[in-house]
């Protein structure tokens, strides 16, 4: 019997498939990263299934890749070294909504759309929701550091996590944060020494498999409104964003994003063709406010003043022609709008300090010059502090897939040089991360400690690439 | 067996797969976003996507994305287990919800149908559907009812008066062979509106919609031509089957042919029929939209009709564009009858237990009734003639 079969033989056959047709959809995520070829997939029903798989996979040295919604753009779910894929979408129960503690406890396969739908009647929501909300899972988001709606107000998905239940490669199950205590529940993340929760957030399934997640609840804002601000340069816009962040005026901003001249031109002229091109700003910042109306209006006034102080102006035209619609209804569809121009998109996400925004945009300009065959897009997403800088290269899958991989790798190097750091690492940033020598050495030591056989997601974060495993899965 | 998995060799091997080759753009455009696999988006009324994945198997190879991945792999030269592929693509209900939610407008349902067509060409069709094909050729309906019994639905109906305006009524296989009460109620409403109702009598036959769902486009077109040839002249053709209405749209878009729903809406609008609720219905009314008409105006017209006659009703999902199949359509009822029944029960259970369920699609009515005999499921015409008073 081969090693993969040994891992799956004790499981209920209903949760396992090794049919090659079933495995076709487990080859990759939305990314440009090369697909991988697993020998089987398991769709666990609970943490015991997960523990059984990991325990035996460690014994048999079979690679295990973990998959939620499969919507990430960094190749984290792609089974490069073969083995098994754990599809966690079957673990999709909402375990507890505790309004008194302000915590919701869910299994990792719950999709954002299902969770927000469930919370709405309680007047509650969660902090961070990505553009892929209808289909992305909470487990994937925790493991991939989701961002988007909520970033400006709450910073990062990891900040919203109260605690986790995690199955380690040994099969051991741990609970982190306050729930680590024998009788305690999830109500506080920190306290008992270092923050173990953080090890698994953004971990791309390299140290353990998350089987339950506790998140903070927040009241749904009663009133929402969007505003846009135009600037003559990206530097001026960066000063504005920095000033807003320093005064903590993102406290009622649920989403904030920055747009380049090209986007402004196409959107505004598309909606109002007789707009004088010279009147268009070079950079626009859109903010989506939510809260009690008087408080929102109060903050909007303060922000308008900061905008004027930093040389900008309120720019309702961009709001009306684009940003307001995007934030109202279109957001979950809009993420795929660029796919109409080419067939696929290589997305790369980094984080940067707000003053580095011009350097980030210079790197994007360089990519446009060096790889003119692709359609490049760029946007920054505001966090409570700092920014996320996203780069998109739209390419033609049938002709340009390999070239797009090269361009994306070049982009990672360029962004690191510009002072950005990897965000949503997966396999896409692995090479750069491995270059952060001391940091990566510590990650490697931790990997050795948690996953000595390097079975979990080999290749992610540049960790655990095990040539022996590769050989082993070749002959399976 | 070890998968010789799709290598993403980007040069197509030019296999002789003309039907899926026609979808090359879709195959290379799929973002793997998984919206067609499962999605929940309350604001848009999207409450899960694929009935097959929800009620039959969660394996993504049964989803729209699964069909796209399989078609691409096959085209790229991967040796697929065609038996397993057949099991997957012929189970699909062809409801089209995966196409509806695809954020970049791809056609996974159509790719699934193209795969079916290729599998016919490779003689790799699951036995239950090969049998369905035989039934269709023999009986000219998918329900196993002998051809000679097709017109039994009209037994005892009084001949309608000859008036200047006439309709040629084609109830469709479902209303004719399984939901005769709906066909008879439709006749009552035609008559009330002053139409002389004609049928094709013994010559009435299937429009080919089930063959289309099986991926046999040419055979479906031939069957349609045979029927439409019989329906000659410039008479207004009205059909109860919503899948039949799709056949007429495909086959004779210029012909004056209407679904019964569209005809009814016009008749009410023109004042030829007056209907209003008479009885306190005593139950809440739950409208079951049809997945077959998600892209036509039919589902909205049913709402207009019910609103117009003063019936308060609920529906789920709220947006009929994203309706999930009840299990009546495509290969599902023959391939996986138990899953098909589960789908029906799920649609019914999504509303209050003692509701009265109304569907404008006779095929759904028959399937829902069979799956949950205790549920009070009505066809639209049947509901109106039972619970409304008016000029009939
Ligand atoms: C067009 C487009 C737009 C996007 N927009 C956004 C956006 O606005 N914001 C954003 O944050 N992201 C965005 N993404 C990326 C992605 O959708 C999100 O990061 C999403 O949260 C990933 O969730 P998932 O369930 O799909 O994860 P997957 O892709 O399944 O997995 C992501 C990573 O998490 C690991 N993982 C999954 N489940 C677990 C688990 N239970 N335990 C441990 N590890 C696990 C996987 O191994 C993988 O490394 C976008 C992607 C696309 C294609
Ligand atoms: S057509 Fe309907 S049943 Fe078939 S794959 Fe698409 S959503 Fe599922
Ligand atoms: S929804 Fe469309 S793009 Fe997304 S996986 Fe399905 S077919 Fe592909």
Give the pLDDT mean for B58-77.
96
**How confident is the model over B22-45, as pLDDT tens digits?**
999 999 999 999 999 999 998 888
Give the atom of ligand 2 at the shortest distance from the alpha carbon of B67.
5
Secondary structure element (H or E) that encloses residue B338, with its range: helix B337-349
Alpha-carbon distances of A49 from A88, A137, A209, A473, B28, rounded to whole Å? 11, 19, 11, 22, 35
Local structure of A243: helix, strand or coil: helix
Query: Which residue's alpha carbon is at the smallest distance from atom 7 of ligand 2?
Result: B50
Number of residues that this document lists for chain A? 476
Residues in chain A with CB shorter than 8 Å from the CB of B35 are 134-135
| Tens digit of pLDDT at every position of chain A (476 positions) | 699 999 999 999 999 999 999 999 999 999 999 999 999 999 999 999 999 999 999 999 999 999 999 999 999 999 999 999 999 999 999 999 999 999 999 999 999 999 999 999 999 999 999 999 999 999 999 999 999 999 999 999 999 999 999 999 999 999 999 999 888 899 999 988 999 999 999 999 999 999 999 999 999 999 999 999 999 999 999 999 999 999 999 999 999 999 999 999 999 999 999 999 999 999 999 999 999 999 999 999 999 999 999 999 999 999 999 999 998 767 888 889 899 889 999 999 999 999 999 999 999 999 999 999 999 999 999 999 999 999 999 999 989 999 999 999 999 999 999 999 999 999 999 999 999 999 999 999 999 999 999 999 999 999 986 554 444 444 33
Whether residue B18 is predicted with pLDDT greater than 60 in this model: the reply is: yes
Asked if residue B1 has pLDDT above 60, the reply is: no
Q: What does pLDDT average to over chain B?
A: 91
**What is the CATH number assigned to the segment(s) A223-337?**
3.30.70.3450
A80: which DSSP letter?
T
Q: B362 phi and psi, to 5 degrees? A: -60, -30
Chain A nearest-CA distance from B327, in A, is 22
Q: Which member of B2, B28, B47 has the closest CB to residue A343?
A: B28
Instruction: Give the closest of A21, A134, A329 to B61, CB-based.
Output: A21
Q: How many angstroms separate the alpha carbon of residue B27 from the centre of ligand 3?
A: 10
What local confidence, expressed as pLDDT, does residue B292 receive?
A: 86
3-state secondary structure of B154: helix
Question: What CA–CA distance (Å, rounded) separates A436 from A250?
Answer: 32
Residues of B in contact with A70 (CB under 8 A): 32, 34
Task: Output the pLDDT for position A465.
Answer: 66
Mean pLDDT of B161-168: 80
- Residue limits of CATH 3.30.70.3450 in chain A: 223-337
Instruction: Give the H or E element holding residue A109.
Output: none
Q: Which residues on B lie below 8 Å from A335 (Cβ)?
A: 103
Contact B46 A113 (CB under 8 A): yes
Q: Which residues of A touch B3 (CB under 8 A)?
A: 20, 23, 37, 39
**pLDDT for position B86:** 97
Q: Which residue has the higher pLDDT, A23 or B165?
A: A23
Looking from the CA of residue B31, the nearest atom of ligand 3 is 3
Report which secondary-structure segment, H or E, holds A442.
helix A437-450
CA-to-CA distance for B300 and B321, rounded, in angstroms? 10
Does the domain made of A344-428 have the CATH classification 3.40.630.30? no
Strands A344-352 and A387-395: antiparallel
Give me the residue label for tokens 């604001």: B43
Q: Which residue has the tokens 């964003």?
A: A241
The CATH 3.30.465.10 portion of chain A extends over 1-220+436-476
Q: Rounded to whole angstroms, how far apart are CA atoms A36 and A32? A: 12
pLDDT band at B389 (very low <50, low <70, confident <90, very high): confident
Which pair of structure tokens corresponds to residue B80?
């697929």
Q: Which residues of A touch B44 (CB under 8 A)?
A: 329, 332
What single-letter DSSP state applies at residue B37?
Answer: T
Give tens-digit pLDDT for B199-226.
Answer: 999 999 999 999 999 999 999 999 999 9
Q: Name the CATH topology of B276-389.
A: Rossmann fold (3.40.50)
B252 burial level (CB within 10 Å; 0-12, 13-18, 19+): middle
Name the residue among A206, A217, A213 with its Cα closest to residue A169. A206
A344-352 and A421-422 beta bridge pairing: antiparallel
Does residue B140 surpass a pLDDT of 60? Answer: yes
- Name the closest ligand to CA A130: 1
- Residue A34's Cα: distance from chain center in Å? 19
Model confidence at B4, pLDDT cuts 50, 70, 90, reads: very low
Q: How confident is the model at residue B8 (pLDDT cuts 50, 70, 90)?
A: very low
Ligand nearest to the CA of A89: 1
| Helix locations, A39-155, DSSP H | 47-60, 112-119, 138-143, 151-154
CATH of range B2-125; options 1.25.40, 2.20.25, 1.10.1060, 1.20.58: 1.10.1060
| Cα(A351)–Cα(A418) distance, integer angstroms | 11
Residues 6+ apart with CB under 8 A from A179: A163, A165, A185, A186, A214
3-class secondary-structure state, position A13: helix
pLDDT > 90? residue B326? yes
DSSP characters over B189-214:
HHHHTTPEEE--GGG----SHHHHHT
Checking if the pLDDT of B10 tops 80, the result is: no
pLDDT in tens, A54-65: 999 999 999 999
- Rounded to an integer, what distance in angstroms lies between the CA atom of residue B279 and that of residue B186? 20
Class of domain A1-220+436-476: alpha beta
**d(CA A345, ligand 3 centre) in Å:** 13
Site residues for ligand 1, CB cut-off 6 Å = A 29-30, 66-73, 76-77, 88, 108, 130-132, 136-137, 139-141, 143-144, 146-148, 204-205, 209-210, 335-336, 426, 457, 460; B 33
How sure is the predictor about B3, in pLDDT bands with cuts at 50, 70 and 90?
Answer: very low
- Interface A–B counts its CB contacts (< 8 A) at 129
Q: Where do the structural domains in chain B lie, given as residue ranges?
A: 2-125, 145-267, 276-389
Q: Quick one: what percent of chain B has pLDDT higher than 90? A: 77
In this prediction, does ipTM exceed 0.90?
yes
Determine whether the shortest distance from the Cβ of B68 to ligand 3 is under 6 A.
yes
């Amino acid at each position: 019997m081969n090693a993969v079969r040994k891992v799956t033989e004790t499981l209920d056959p209903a949760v396992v498939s090794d049919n090659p047709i079933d495995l076709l959809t487990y080859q990759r995520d939305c990314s440009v990263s090369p697909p991988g070829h697993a020998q089987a997939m398991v769709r666990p029903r609970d943490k015991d299934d997960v523990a059984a798989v990991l325990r035996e996979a460690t014994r048999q040295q079979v690679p295990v890749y973990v998959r939620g919604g499969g919507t990430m753009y960094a190749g984290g779910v792609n089974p490069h070294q073969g083995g098994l894929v754990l599809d966690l979408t079957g673990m999709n129960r909402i375990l507890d909504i505790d309004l008194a503690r302000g915590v919701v406890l869910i299994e990792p396969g719950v999709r954002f759309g299902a969770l927000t739908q469930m919370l709405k009647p309680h007047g509650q929501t969660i902090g961070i929701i990505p553009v892929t909300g209808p289909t992305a899972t909470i487990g994937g988001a925790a493991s991939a550091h989701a961002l988007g709606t909520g970033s400006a107000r709450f910073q990062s998905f990891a900040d919203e996590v109260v605690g986790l239940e995690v199955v380690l490669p040994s099969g051991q199950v741990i609970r982190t944060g306050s729930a680590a205590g024998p009788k305690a529940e999830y109500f506080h993340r920190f306290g008992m020494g270092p923050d173990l929760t953080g090890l698994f957030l953004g971990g791309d399934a390299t140290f353990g498999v998350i089987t339950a997640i506790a998140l903070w609840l927040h009241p749904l804002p009663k009133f929402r409104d969007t505003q846009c601000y135009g600037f003559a340069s990206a530097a001026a816009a960066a000063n504005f964003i920095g000033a807003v962040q320093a005064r903590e005026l993102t406290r009622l901003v649920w989403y904030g994003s920055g747009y380049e001249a090209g986007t402004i031109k196409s959107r505004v002229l598309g909606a109002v063709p007789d707009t004088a091109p010279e009147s268009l700003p070079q950079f626009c910042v859109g903010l989506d406010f939510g809260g009690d109306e008087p408080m929102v209006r109060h903050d909007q006034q303060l922000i308008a003043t900061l905008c004027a102080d930093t040389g900008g102006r309120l720019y309702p035209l961009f709001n009306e022609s684009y940003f307001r619609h995007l934030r109202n209804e279109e957001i979950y569809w809009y993420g795929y709008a660029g796919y109409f121009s080419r067939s696929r998109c290589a997305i790369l996400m980094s984080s940067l300090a707000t003053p580095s925004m011009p350097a980030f945009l210079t790197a994007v300009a360089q990519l446009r010059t060096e790889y003119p065959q692709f359609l490049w897009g760029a946007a920054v997403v505001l966090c409570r502090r700092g920014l996320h800088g996203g780069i998109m290269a739209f390419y033609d899958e049938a002709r340009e897939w390999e070239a797009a991989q090269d361009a994306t790798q070049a982009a990672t190097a360029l962004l690191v040089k510009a002072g950005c750091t990897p965000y949503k690492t997966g396999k896409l940033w692995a090479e750069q991360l491995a270059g952060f020598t001391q940091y990566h050495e510590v990650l490697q030591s931790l990997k050795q400690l948690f996953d000595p056989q390097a079975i979990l997601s080999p290749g992610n974060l540049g960790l655990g690439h095990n040539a022996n495993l590769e050989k082993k899965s070749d002959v399976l | 067996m070890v998968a010789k998995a799709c290598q993403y060799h980007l040069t197509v091997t030019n296999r002789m797969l003309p039907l899926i080759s026609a979808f090359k753009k879709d195959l290379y455009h799929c973002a793997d976003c998984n919206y067609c696999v499962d999605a929940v988006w309350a604001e848009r009324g999207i409450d899960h996507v694929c009935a097959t994945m929800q009620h039959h198997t969660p394996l993504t190879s049964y989803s729209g994305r699964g069909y796209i991945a399989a078609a691409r792999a096959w085209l790229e030269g991967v040796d697929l287990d065609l038996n397993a592929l057949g099991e997957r693509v012929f189970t699909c209900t062809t409801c089209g919800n995966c196409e509806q939610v695809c954020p970049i407008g791809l056609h996974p349902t159509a790719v699934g149908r193209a795969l079916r067509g290729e599998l016919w060409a490779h003689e790799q069709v699951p036995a239950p559907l090969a049998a369905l094909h035989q039934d269709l050729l023999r009986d000219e309906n998918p329900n196993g009812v002998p051809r000679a019994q097709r017109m039994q639905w009209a037994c005892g109906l009084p001949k309608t008066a000859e008036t200047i305006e006439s309709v040629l009524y084609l109830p469709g296989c479902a209303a004719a062979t399984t939901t005769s009460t709906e066909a008879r109620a439709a006749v009552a409403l035609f008559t009330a509106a002053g139409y002389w109702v004609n049928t094709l009598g013994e010559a009435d036959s299937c429009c080919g919609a089930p063959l289309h769902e099986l991926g046999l486009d040419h055979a479906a077109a031939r069957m349609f031509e045979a029927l439409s040839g019989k329906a000659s002249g410039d008479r207004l053709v009205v059909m109860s089957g919503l899948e039949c209405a799709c056949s007429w749209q495909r086959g004779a878009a210029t012909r004056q042919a209407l679904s019964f729903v569209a005809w009814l809406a016009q008749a009410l609008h023109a004042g030829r029929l007056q209907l209003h609720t008479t009885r306190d219905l005593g139950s809440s009314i739950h409208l079951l939209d049809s997945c077959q008409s998600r892209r036509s105006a039919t589902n909205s017209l049913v709402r207009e009709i019910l609103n117009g006659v003063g019936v308060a009703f609920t529906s789920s999902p709220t947006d009929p564009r994203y309706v999930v199949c009840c299990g009546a359509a495509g290969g599902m009822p023959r391939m996986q009858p138990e899953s098909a029944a589960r789908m029906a029960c799920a649609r019914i259970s999504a509303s209050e237990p003692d509701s009265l369920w109304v569907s404008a699609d006779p095929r759904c009515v028959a399937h829902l009734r069979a799956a949950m005999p205790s549920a009070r499921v009505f066809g639209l015409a049947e509901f109106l003639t039972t619970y409304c008073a008016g000029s009939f």
